[in-house]
Structure 1
Amino acid sequence: MSPERSHCIEDSDIKRTGTWLTASAHIVTTAIGSGVLSLAWAVAQLGWIGGTAALIIFSLITLLTSFLMADCYRYPDMVHGNRNSTYMKMVKTILGGVQYKYCGLAQYTNLVGCTIGYTLTAAISMVAMKKSDCFHKFGHQADCNISNNQFMVIFGVSQIFLSQIPNFHDLSWLSIIAAIMSFGYSFIGIVLSIAKIAEKGHHVKTSLTGLVVGVEVTRTEKVWNTFQAIANIAFAYTFSNVIAEIEDTLKPSPPENQVMKTASLIGIASSTIFYASCGLLGYAAFGNNAPGNFLTGFGFYEPFWLIDIGNLFIIIHLVGAYQVFAQPIFSLVESWANRRWPENKFMTKEYPVRIPLVGTWRMNMFKVIWRSTYVVFTTLVAMLLPFFNNIVGLIGALCFFPLTVYFPIEMYLTRVKLPKYSLKWIVMRLLVGLCFIVALMGVIASIQGIILGLKTYRPFKST
């Protein structure tokens, strides 16, 4: 059987039922992470002018590149062309050569890094719930340090079960729940910020340019913090590493690119509104002393039950977001294994398992073992490196430029055959250069954070 015929059969076997609503949910689930609650800190480093400008600029850049990628799902014709069901396939089809290998390295490195980071972040929110109850009971000065490790194990166990979801096409319900949770904890952060601003006698120091050099930070600290803040805001909008997979869930009518553009507009607009609300209101509430995360970093202590609910929403959201990022990894390895050993029963044989109230699950032993092993791996790495957020930041910085900016623009220039040195060509190239500088800033700032983390590094001693 020819590869083309095999592909057609595989493609026709997939039941695509996605709509603008499910695609928007996938985007919000991917884009709005618990990092939204750290944007007040980012704005504090940049000030009212720089923080607001960064939020607007990077939302527009992400919207532009997501539109460009939506038109690349089918190629060469945007409506009737062949599907590019993955980011790597999209790059290979349009750009060819070895660029798709670089794309795959960047994409899957970022996906692995995010799943590890989500494991750590979910554990931090679980710990924050325990700490919140402890502070409420014993006072704000009480010693309420708790190890993250047991909570990482709990999160990992839940992911072992959820990882048996067959594929990305069956994740819509989980993404919708996760998207609702992300709106929930963002809204709680906004409400708590407004309440703090409205407190009698509330007065905090804010400025147009953020922390003051020589008064609140040294010149060197200002530079590092500025780099990290800009990178944090830029990377907060990144969902390009799964945009092709999201578009591949859509029904063929109306055309997928039109629906994906609608979903991207809704998803990015929703994300931007919540980013701006959390970042700017959080800055107004805490000023230049804004904590790194005002739900897990205890910018608020009361009402403790509302903070617990906010952190519970974060945990539920990350449970879904982990799967959105992990499913492409599962699919890559499983597709390779099936091609490598097509006659091996361990790889291909399925056993029907009846699950009450759910239905019949077709269990494949290779998938069960491989997916469980991957979850165990991400959990162990998160436990081994308690400062892994800095490493994930480094991975994000390295992957932001190629995945969110470079490849979408290169595919657009190739697809429309834009003349060199035309006005639009020059604008696109300038945008690529600007984002490269931002990514470089993120790399430098993340490396500096890793160096600081190594000074107090103790394996499996995360608190």
Structure 2
Amino acid sequence: MEFQGARNFSIESPGNDVFSSKYDDDGHVKRTGTWVTASAHIVTAVIGSGVLSLAWAVAQLGWIVGPTILTVFSAITLVTSFMLSDCYRYPDPVHGSRNPRYMEMVKNVLGGIQCQLCGWAQYIILFGTSIGYTITASISMVAIKRSNCFHKHGHEAKCHAANYPFMIIFAVVEILISQIPDFHELSGLSILAAIMSFGYATIGVGLSIAKIAEGGNHATSLTGVIVGEDVTSQQKLWNTFQAIGNIAFAYGFSMVIVEIQDTLKSSPPENQAMKKATATGISITTLFYMLCGLLGYEAFGNKAPGNFLTGFGFYEPYWLVDIGNVFIVIHLVGAYQVFSQPIFTLVEGWCAKRWPESNFMAKEYHVRIPLVGTYRVNAFRVIWRTLYVILTSVVAILLPFFNSIVGLLGAVSFWPLTVYFPTEMYLVRAKVPKFSVIWIGVKLLSGFCLIVTLVAAAGSIEGIITDLKTYDPFN
């Protein structure tokens, strides 16, 4: 399968003043993003559903290993993101040719075979993330319904509700929003989603502090859940692996980092602005993750729920729990789009190249929407993106296992996209001599992260198998 980026523009003479004012050096309509908008995209991509499982993850790991793993993943993500930023233009990070897609970057730096491997890894993970976000959004919508039921009928009431009707509601909203043509028109949605992520993370932290202040016996330990008391030794092992995957997922945004950098204007140089945005986004993220994970563990102890806003460790004030879950849903509406756009661009770019004369592929209709503006509608885009959203929703309905799916996505995406390709491209771009101290250090980092990925994936797969044994679809 050949992966191609979209190229849907016509290039005028480079000497034309109109050209230089409207287009960048690669013929693309002039990019206008700044480190602030890029930071918003990053926060939107990073602070997602992963934050909700951190209290559970820390409970599996304990007070020593939990914060250590959070810090290590933060540092690794920051370093490898800097490496990627310098490869946006190649071979020179300031004056070289642009690589507007992750795969294109891998192809130009490492070669075609590596590009194919990167393509499969990136797009499978993006597809899986869309499924994960559909599951998480539906869980939050169900939590709103259950929260109001508990408030009305008491905390012991059986307020059960199926997830799949809410997955359908989420899918309908995504079908409509997915008609936004490309990444460059998502800045407003990303900023709104980033605000929402701050909102529900803050609510989770506040509720945790309130629960800690109430007192109560919420046992914690340096090593997390206790074998023989909370779990069996086998459960402890698998849950530890799965928790590592959950934390990896919480930091995962490498699959869209190049597309985010491609929204930046040329001055200051894109790599400098992107490094500033990355440092800002990851610093903010790590602060919230530490607060959510550690305070959540202190509040719930070794009995921390898998999702600390929907697991009903908090019942009251019910309206604040509801607001937190509304924020989650709004955030995931935007995050779904951020992670789906590269897939949309891939398919639409390939089809435009395959059938360049087709009006069905290329012709756009301008639809005026009151209070919103003019919407550009394309027949192929409507049909293809609708089918994509439907497919992710169907898979989510069949496999609605929050912690296991989150852990598996984190495990599968962490090593290839966050570590392997960035480090390999760094070694080539910087021309690091083989077997030098830096070369050995980079290879050891990659090897360590591969081991982490394998054990986390194993734990998550075991969790999915266990869940499937008792799962009854549509019930």
Q: TM-score range by the shorter chain?
A: over 0.9
Tell me the CA shift for residue 458 of structure 1.
2.5
TM, length-normalised to structure 1: 0.96
Distance 1:85 1:8, change over 3 A: farther
Q: How does 1:43-62 map to 2 (within 5 A)?
A: 43-62=58-77
Q: What is residue 364 of structure 1 aligned with on the other side?
A: 378
Distance 1:311 1:112, change over 3 A: same
Q: What is residue 36 of structure 1 aligned with on the other side?
A: 51
2:164 maps to 1:157: no
Cα distance in 2, alignment partners of residues 38 and 393 from structure 1: 10
Cα distance in 2, alignment partners of residues 401 and 48 from structure 1: 25
Contact 2:78/2:279 (8 A) holds in 1: yes
Cα distance in 1, alignment partners of residues 216 and 401 from structure 2: 34
Cα distance in 1, alignment partners of residues 301 and 403 from structure 2: 24
- One-letter amino acid of the counterpart of residue 411, structure 1: M
- One-letter amino acid of the counterpart of residue 109, structure 2: I
Q: What is residue 104 of structure 2 aligned with on the other side?
A: 89
Tell me the CA shift for residue 420 of structure 1.
1.3
Distance 1:372 1:6, change over 3 A: closer
Q: What is residue 333 of structure 2 aligned with on the other side?
A: 319
- One-letter amino acid of the counterpart of residue 88, structure 1: M
Contact 1:188/1:310 (8 A) holds in 2: yes
Distance 1:388 1:208, change over 3 A: closer
Q: What is the root-mean-square deviation in Å for CA atoms of aligned residues?
A: 1.6
Between 119-128 and 206-215, report the one with greater CA deviation. Answer: 206-215
Q: List per-residue Cα deviations over 1:220-244 (Å, max 9, x = no partner).
A: 1111111111121122111100000
Q: Of 23, 41, 52, which aligns to 1:26?
A: 41
Contact 1:113/1:392 (8 A) holds in 2: no
Q: List per-residue Cα deviations over 1:404-454 (Å, max 9, x = no partner).
A: 000000000010110112111111111111100110011111110121122
- One-letter amino acid of the counterpart of residue 238, structure 1: G
Tell me the CA shift for residue 391 of structure 1.
4.3
Cα distance in 2, alignment partners of residues 357 and 406 from structure 1: 46
Contact 2:39/2:280 (8 A) holds in 1: yes
Secondary structure, counterpart of 2:221 in structure 1: coil
Tell me the CA shift for residue 6 of structure 1.
8.5
Q: What is residue 254 of structure 1 aligned with on the other side?
A: 268
Q: What is residue 191 of structure 1 aligned with on the other side?
A: 206
Cα distance in 1, alignment partners of residues 10 and 247 from structure 2: 41
Q: How does 1:149-298 map to 2 (within 5 A)?
A: 149-199=164-214, 201-298=215-312
Between 325-334 and 448-457, report the one with greater CA deviation. Answer: 448-457
Contact 2:250/2:410 (8 A) holds in 1: no
Q: What is residue 449 of structure 1 aligned with on the other side?
A: 463
Distance 1:103 1:330, change over 3 A: same
Q: Of 395, 398, 412, which aligns to 1:384?
A: 398
Cα distance in 2, alignment partners of residues 393 and 59 from structure 1: 17
Cα distance in 1, alignment partners of residues 169 and 150 from structure 2: 23
2:81 maps to 1:66: yes
Cα distance in 2, alignment partners of residues 205 and 62 from structure 1: 32
Q: What is residue 330 of structure 1 aligned with on the other side?
A: 344
Tell me the CA shift for residue 383 of structure 1.
1.6
Secondary structure, counterpart of 2:366 in structure 1: strand
Cα distance in 1, alignment partners of residues 277 and 129 from structure 2: 23
- One-letter amino acid of the counterpart of residue 64, structure 1: V
- One-letter amino acid of the counterpart of residue 363, structure 2: K
Tell me the CA shift for residue 396 of structure 1.
3.5
Between 67-76 and 13-22, report the one with greater CA deviation. Answer: 13-22
Cα distance in 2, alignment partners of residues 382 and 337 from structure 1: 27
Distance 1:6 1:18, change over 3 A: closer
Tell me the CA shift for residue 21 of structure 1.
0.8
Tell me the CA shift for residue 388 of structure 1.
6.7
- One-letter amino acid of the counterpart of residue 276, structure 2: T
Contact 1:405/1:432 (8 A) holds in 2: yes
Tell me the CA shift for residue 389 of structure 1.
5.5
Secondary structure, counterpart of 1:12 in structure 2: coil
Tell me the CA shift for residue 208 of structure 1.
1.0
Contact 1:386/1:460 (8 A) holds in 2: no
Q: What is residue 308 of structure 1 aligned with on the other side?
A: 322
Distance 1:215 1:389, change over 3 A: closer
Cα distance in 1, alignment partners of residues 216 and 472 from structure 2: 40
Q: List per-residue Cα deviations over 1:21-64 (Å, max 9, x = no partner).
A: 11001101111112212111111111110011011111000000
Tell me the CA shift for residue 215 of structure 1.
2.3
2:138 maps to 1:123: yes
TM, length-normalised to structure 2: 0.93
Q: What is residue 459 of structure 1 aligned with on the other side?
A: 473
Distance 1:81 1:169, change over 3 A: same
Q: What is residue 18 of structure 2 aligned with on the other side?
A: none
Cα distance in 2, alignment partners of residues 34 and 341 from structure 1: 38
Matched residue pairs, number? Answer: 457
Cα distance in 2, alignment partners of residues 37 and 286 from structure 1: 13
Cα distance in 1, alignment partners of residues 245 and 62 from structure 2: 15
Q: Of 132, 135, 139, which aligns to 2:147?
A: 132
Cα distance in 1, alignment partners of residues 149 and 197 from structure 2: 25
Q: List per-residue Cα deviations over 1:112-148 (Å, max 9, x = no partner).
A: 0111111111010000000000001001110111111
Secondary structure, counterpart of 1:353 in structure 2: strand
Contact 1:383/1:459 (8 A) holds in 2: yes
Q: What is residue 102 of structure 1 aligned with on the other side?
A: 117
Secondary structure, counterpart of 1:455 in structure 2: helix
Cα distance in 2, alignment partners of residues 255 and 25 from structure 1: 19
